[in-house]
């Protein structure tokens, strides 16, 4: 077959591929309820629900995250020694990849005569160097056996310094080191004894005592006392920021809830802490813990956080289908996932009941959170009227928490576009400030809400049934009718909507608005100065939207932009897109050209400055003549054209063949131009913004199927004045027909290698027979003509020598 396209710039082409949208956030999943709406979310942010290890942990970030323990310790030493925090950090903490420690802190202590502090600092460095975890890492890294330190000597030094000093700053640290070294030595009982003897008596404790408590709790684990370990780690998780992460990891290792830990609690707050710390572990439902927490203390600071986490966790199971869940969690048993999935609807009901009850409790009713959560869960149940009532009550309760105010506004945005079957001026007026507020977000839940609102709105402008983003299991994969009822249809019942309108029933202005609102969901429009262009799974692709829009709609958009009397909504929507006339006329030209309305494309591109065609991407990707194809058409393959000159010439050629249907040369040039502006052509940039070898072929698009080019070549073949000219046009028609055959070939084989070997072999035999029949009966029309009608032409002889596909055809392969 002829070489279908020029691939000399393949590397550069790859750089233009529109790959997105891809997850911008490793934690991303289908979720609409922001954990940031909960009280104390900032403090416990890493423990929001996630399918990753912890929430919002980006392993690729360049800037190192400063450990809270390190930050507090540096600050304490800087204050104690009267030196800068940088001086302390340079000596005590070496950044990854750096070599050597500074000595500024030690030098300052010596200079001030703080001998005891200087000696402690040296001792602490020795202990750190001999920490068992560091020892194990060193042994692995060097593949050598390292001699363990004499822990008894270290403990003797610690106790001696402890006895000699009256400095509470040093005393607390030495007590911690005693607990730590005893545990390091494999003597957990001694570690616990040191804690009771040295740490407990300290009256003014700092974060260092939290470190000692954490080591002691670890010693309890090592001694087999999981109950006491759970008690201490639960308290640390809630109350000790510098040991929160360590406590969480230890609680995960404990795996299950030890109810006996409650007997160790001194008050209801401590009991609530045990429930809270257990509730956020990954492998159980938190609602029973929430109920216990609320019974103990209605004002517990973790109630909202745990509730938001449960909503988010259940969103994962509710919105995701079973097959996808098989691969969703590396740490959860598949049977457990199936149980969570099966119970997702009921669990949402239970969470709703808890939210409604909580919203009326004396200690909780002053927070809008509970009514906001109830409104969201009621909305999921499709009871829009009740959801709105609850949301209005939530709005009436004052709050200064921005995350909660944002959640309320996002729910109002979704409700606004969902409540009525048609778009009204009142709806537009209410929703536009909300769309402005949440556009171009760098948070995936905000993007989910914004994109869903836009998709619902666009569908209503078009009079189409929208995709129900809130349906169970299917999410955005299956289109179902969005309910327009305002009464409850029961939990997760099927939804029924209005009859779909025909395209002719939609006003041009609504077509324009639908296009613009759809564009707002694209990840390309999500670029801003602040986030650099975040993209999420809920985003659309601007290029795909452009390529699937008719020129009629783009004309409607241009008319909409040029209205003499724009409403406030119109002005704000246009501003949100950032589109101008150059952009719109560029898209109009492409769409008209793809529809083979050449004169319309030419007229559109005349509205654009000629300078545009001299710049990128046309400078690089339109550097060959689209009217030249494999030696056919124009003789000069390097002649430069612009999109405007191309469309103008195509329009002129169309006029010529209408005036003279036997103008074979014009038919051939039309064929060459049409071929080259399509997927395999040398000038695809005329129709598209990007090109990729991995594109999904659309069998209904002439950009991929070459139906029009084949038509033109067939005309050229039948109107040519010599057999040689007919043979050349016949061969180009065969090239188009071969492309159509290859599309079917690829489709038939799609997914076959996922079958078992037995099924695959059977399927391959069936496909082979099908393809043989199709090639013979349907897709060899022009090869047959080349052989039978034009077999005596010099061109046919040349094709035999140069085209392996034609050789195979002649050989019956």
Alpha carbons within 13 angstroms on the beta-carbon side of residue 120 total 25
Residue 633 β-bridge partners:
628
Grouping H, G, I as helix, E, B as strand and the rest as coil, residue 284 is coil
Residue 311 dihedral angles phi and psi, to the nearest 5°: -60, -45
In this prediction, residue 194 carries a pLDDT of: 97
Which two structure tokens, joined as six digits, stand for 277?
């710390």
Q: How many other CB atoms sit within 10 Å of the CB of residue 13?
A: 18
In this prediction, residue 99 carries a pLDDT of: 63
Cα dihedral 130/172/196/133 (nearest 10): -20
State the burial class of residue 550 (Cβ atoms within 10 Å of its Cβ: 0-12, 13-18, 19+): middle
* pLDDT (average), residues 604-608: 97
Which two structure tokens, joined as six digits, stand for 796?
């046919």
In this prediction, residue 145 carries a pLDDT of: 57
284 in Cβ contact with 257 (< 8 Å): yes
In this prediction, residue 249 carries a pLDDT of: 92
In this prediction, residue 468 carries a pLDDT of: 82
Please determine, for residue 325, whether its predicted confidence score (pLDDT) is greater than 90: no
Please report, for residues 39, 339, 349, 359, 368, the alpha-carbon distance to residue 353 in angstroms, rounded to integers and kept in the order given: 20, 21, 6, 10, 16
CA distance 204 to 196: 15
Q: What is the pLDDT of residues 695-731, one digit of tens each?
A: 889 899 999 999 999 999 999 999 999 999 999 999 9
Considering only CA atoms, which of 103, 75, 109, 77 is closest in space to residue 90?
103
Please report, for residues 3, 495, 510, 513, 556, the alpha-carbon distance to residue 498 in angstroms, rounded to integers and kept in the order given: 51, 10, 17, 20, 25
Poorest-confidence range of 114-118, 195-199, 475-479, 701-705? 475-479
Task: Give residue 133's pLDDT band: very low, low, confident or very high (50, 70, 90).
Answer: low
Q: If you ran DSSP here, which 8-state letter would residue 522 be given?
A: B
In this prediction, residue 532 carries a pLDDT of: 57
CA distance 383 to 87: 60
* pLDDT (average), residues 613-639: 94
* pLDDT (average), residues 755-781: 91
Task: Give residue 95's pLDDT band: very low, low, confident or very high (50, 70, 90).
Answer: low
More confident residue, 134 or 623: 623
Q: If you ran DSSP here, which 8-state letter would residue 35 be given?
A: G
In this prediction, residue 97 carries a pLDDT of: 53
In this prediction, residue 22 carries a pLDDT of: 52
Poorest-confidence range of 104-113, 158-167, 192-201, 492-501? 492-501
Q: Which residue has the tokens 């370990």?
A: 229
Contacts of 305 (CB under 8 A, 6+ apart): 35, 38, 39, 40, 41, 44, 276, 280
Alpha carbons within 13 angstroms on the beta-carbon side of residue 278 total 29
* pLDDT (average), residues 435-439: 96
Q: What is the pLDDT of residues 446-499, one digit of tens each?
A: 999 999 999 999 999 999 887 788 888 754 343 322 223 333 333 333 333 344
CA distance 634 to 621: 19
Residue 485 dihedral angles phi and psi, to the nearest 5°: -75, 150
Task: Give residue 683's pLDDT band: very low, low, confident or very high (50, 70, 90).
Answer: very high
CA distance 208 to 631: 82
Task: Give residue 796's pLDDT band: very low, low, confident or very high (50, 70, 90).
Answer: confident
Whether the ω angle into residue 585 lies within 30 degrees of 0, i.e. cis, is no
Q: What is the pLDDT of residues 262-308, one digit of tens each?
A: 999 999 999 999 999 999 988 778 999 999 999 998 888 899 999 99
């Amino acid at each position: 077959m002829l070489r279908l396209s020029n691939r000399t710039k393949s590397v550069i082409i790859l750089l233009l591929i529109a790959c997105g949208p891809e997850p911008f956030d490793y934690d991303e999943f289908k979720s609409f309820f922001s954990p940031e709406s909960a009280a104390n979310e900032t403090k416990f942010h890493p423990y929001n629900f996630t399918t990753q290890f912890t929430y919002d942990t980006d392993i690729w970030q360049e800037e190192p995250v400063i450990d809270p323990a390190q930050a507090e310790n540096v600050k304490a030493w800087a204050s104690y020694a009267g030196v800068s925090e940088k001086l302390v950090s340079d000596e005590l903490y070496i950044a990854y990849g750096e070599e050597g420690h500074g000595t500024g802190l030690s030098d300052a202590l010596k200079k001030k005569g703080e001998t005891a502090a200087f000696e402690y600092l040296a001792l602490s460095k020795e202990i750190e160097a001999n920490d068992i975890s560091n020892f194990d890492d060193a042994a692995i890294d060097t593949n050598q056996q390292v001699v363990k330190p004499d822990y008894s000597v270290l403990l003797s030094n610690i106790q001696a310094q402890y006895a000699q000093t009256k400095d509470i700053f040093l005393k607390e640290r030495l007590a911690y080191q005693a607990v730590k070294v005893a545990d390091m030595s494999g003597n957990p009982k001694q570690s616990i004894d040191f804690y009771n003897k040295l740490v407990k008596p300290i009256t003014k404790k700092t974060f260092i005592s939290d470190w000692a408590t954490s080591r002691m709790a670890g010693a309890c684990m090592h001694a087999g006392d999981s109950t006491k370990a759970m008690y201490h780690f639960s308290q640390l998780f809630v109350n000790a920021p510098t040991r929160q992460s360590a406590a969480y990891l230890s609680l995960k290792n404990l795996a299950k809830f030890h109810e006996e830990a409650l007997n160790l609690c001194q008050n209801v707050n401590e009991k609530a802490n045990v429930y809270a710390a257990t509730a956020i572990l990954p492998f159980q439902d938190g609602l029973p813990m929430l109920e216990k927490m609320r019974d103990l203390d209605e004002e517990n600071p973790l109630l909202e956080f745990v509730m938001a986490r449960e909503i988010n966790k259940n969103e994962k199971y509710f919105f995701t289908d079973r097959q996808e869940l098989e691969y969703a969690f590396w740490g959860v048993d598949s049977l457990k996932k199936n149980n969570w999935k099966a119970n997702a609807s009921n669990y949402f009901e239970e969470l709703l009941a808890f939210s409604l009850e909580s919203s009326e409790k004396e200690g909780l009713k002053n927070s809008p959170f509970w009514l906001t959560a109830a409104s969201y869960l009621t909305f999921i149940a499709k009871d829009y009227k009740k959801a709105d009532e609850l949301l209005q009550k939530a709005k009436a309760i004052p709050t200064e928490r921005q995350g909660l105010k944002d959640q309320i506004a996002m729910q109002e945005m979704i409700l606004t576009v969902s409540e009525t079957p048609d778009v009204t001026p009142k709806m537009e007026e209410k929703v536009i400030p909300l769309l402005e507020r949440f556009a171009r977000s760098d948070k995936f839940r905000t993007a989910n809400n914004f994109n869903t609102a836009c998709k619902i709105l666009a569908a209503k402008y078009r009079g189409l049934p929208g995709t129900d983003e809130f349906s169970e299991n299917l999410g955005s994969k299956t289109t179902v009718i969005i309910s327009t009822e305002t009464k409850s249809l029961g939990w997760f019942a099927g939804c029924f909507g209005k009859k779909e309108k025909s395209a002719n029933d939609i006003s041009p202005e609504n077509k324009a608005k639908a296009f613009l609102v759809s564009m707002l969901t694209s990840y390309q429009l999500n670029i801003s100065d602040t986030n650099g262009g975040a993209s999420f799974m809920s985003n659309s692709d601007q290029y795909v939207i452009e390529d699937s829009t008719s020129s009629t709609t783009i004309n409607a958009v241009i008319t909409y932009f040029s209205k003499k009397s724009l409403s406030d909504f119109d002005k704000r929507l246009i501003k949100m897109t950032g589109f101008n006339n150059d952009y719109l006329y560029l898209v109009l030209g492409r769409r008209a050209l793809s529809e083979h309305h050449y004169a319309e494309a030419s007229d559109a591109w005349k509205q654009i400055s000629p300078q545009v065609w001299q710049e990128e991407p046309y400078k690089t990707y339109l550097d060959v003549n689209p009217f030249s194809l494999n030696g056919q058409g124009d003789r000069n393959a390097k002649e430069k054209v612009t999109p405007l000159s191309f469309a103008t010439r195509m329009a002129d050629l169309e006029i010529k063949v209408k005036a003279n249907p036997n103008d074979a040369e014009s038919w051939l040039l039309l064929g060459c131009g049409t071929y080259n502006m399509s997927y395999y052509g040398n000038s695809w940039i005329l129709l598209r913004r990007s090109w990729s070898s991995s594109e999904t072929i659309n069998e209904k698009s002439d950009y991929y199927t070459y139906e029009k080019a084949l038509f033109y070549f067939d005309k050229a073949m039948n109107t040519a004045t010599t057999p040689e000219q007919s043979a050349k046009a016949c061969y180009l028609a065969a090239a188009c027909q071969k492309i159509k055959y290859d599309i079917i070939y690829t489709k038939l084989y799609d997914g076959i290698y996922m079958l078992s070997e037995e099924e695959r072999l059977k399927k391959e035999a069936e496909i082979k027979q099908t393809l043989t029949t199709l090639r013979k009966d349907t897709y060899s029309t022009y090869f047959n003509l080349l052989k039978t009608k034009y077999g005596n032409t010099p061109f046919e002889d040349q094709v035999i020598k140069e085209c392996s596909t034609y050789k195979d055809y002649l050989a019956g392969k």
